Amino acid sequence: MNSKKLNQIKTYTPYDVGYFNTTDGQEIYFEQSGHPMGVPVLYLHGGPGAGLGNDYRELFSSFSNIRLIGIDQRGAGKSKPLGTLKNNTIHHLIADIEYLREYLHVSSWYIFGGSWGSTLALAYSVQFPQHIRGLNLWGIFYCQKKEIEWLFHTTAPLMYPDIFSDLNHGINHSSLKELLEIYYIYLHQENTEREFATRWLLWEAFTAEHPHPIYDEFDDWNATNEAIACAKIEHHYFSNTPLRINQEDDLESAVKKANFQFPIYITHGRNDLVTPAASAISLKNNTLNSKMNILDNCGHSLIHVGMRNSIHHFAKELLEKYN
C-alpha cells in the first residue's frame, strides 16, 4: 500500500470487534483499530483483570501505521463470564493470546503493556519468542511474593500508614498472608464484595499516583461490577504466586534463561509504590537487547506525563528502528 495513503489514516476507533470461544466455554473479547494493513501491535492491559477500556488507544494516536490489537483477558472487561476465576491462570492467558494471533493471521507482532501487562507480555514471550518483534513495557512486574509484599506489607503501607489503616480498618494485616485470607472471605460474599473491592482498588489507585496521589476518590467512588471482577482476579493471582513458566521457579528466572533476541524497551517510575524499580533493573540486566528509562518524579500510573512521554518515545524508536 502507498505509504502516503497509509499515513493519512489516523483514527483509532475500532474497525473490528469480536469474540472467540475457548475450549472451556469462555468468550474472549478482542478489538482492532488503526490501519488493517499496519504493523501489528498487541496491547495487554493491566490488573490483572482491569480490562482494556478506551484510554489505551490514546498512546498510539500519533502513529498512523499501526494495526492495534487489544484483548480483554479472561474475566475482564467485555470477556465473559465477568470476573470468572475458572481456568484463569497465566497459562490459559498465554494460550488465549496465541489463539488470537493465529485467528487474526498475524505472523509476528510487537507487544506493549504495563504493570500486569508487562507480566503477561514477558510470560507469553518466554513461550513464543519466535512471534515477537519487540516489547515496549512499563511498571515491570514479575508477580512475585516480594513485589506483592512491597505493595501490601513492607513498603507502601509504611509510606502511607494512615491511608492504609483507613482503608483496612478492622482487618488484621500483621502479615500479607492474613491480609489476603481476610480479603478472600469478604471479596467472595455478596453483601461485602463491593465494599472490599472498593478498599482494595482505592489503595492500588492511591499508590499508583504517588508521589502526587489524589485523595478525592476516597469519598466519591465505589467499585462497579467490572471493578469488583478486577479486584477478585487480582487477589486470585496475588494469592497464587509465583508464576511458573517453562518449569522455572518464577517468571524472573524464566526470562533470565530465555535469552531474548528481540529489542525490549523498559520504562519505570523511581517513585513507583505498586511495583519496585528493582524489577525493571532485573529485566534490563537479564536481557541483551534492552534499553531502560528510570524516571524521577514518576510513579506507576500513566497519569504521570513523564511515563507517557517515555513510552511514546520508545514506541517511536522501536517501530521505526526495527520495522
What positions carry a catalytic annotation?
115, 272, 300
Expressed in angstroms, the distance from the first to the final Cα of the chain is: 16
CB within 8 Å of 181: residues ≥ 6 apart: none
Rounded to the nearest 10°, the torsion over CA 201, 112, 135, 236 is: 30
The bridge status of strand 16-21 relative to strand 27-34 is antiparallel
Q: Cβ(40)–Cβ(101) under 8 Å?
A: no
Q: What 3-state class would DSSP assign to 207?
A: helix
**Beta strand extents in 88-246 (DSSP E only):** 109-114, 132-138
Distance CA 276, CA 264 (A): 18
Distance of CA 76 to the CA centre of its chain: 12
Handedness of CA 312, 207, 115, 17 (dihedral sign): negative
Handedness of CA 85, 90, 93, 95 (dihedral sign): negative
Residue with cell 468468550: 27
The grid coordinates listed for 285 are 540486566
| H-helix or E-strand spanning residue 19 | strand 16-21
Residue 305 one-letter amino acid? V
Number of H helices, E strands in the chain: 13, 8
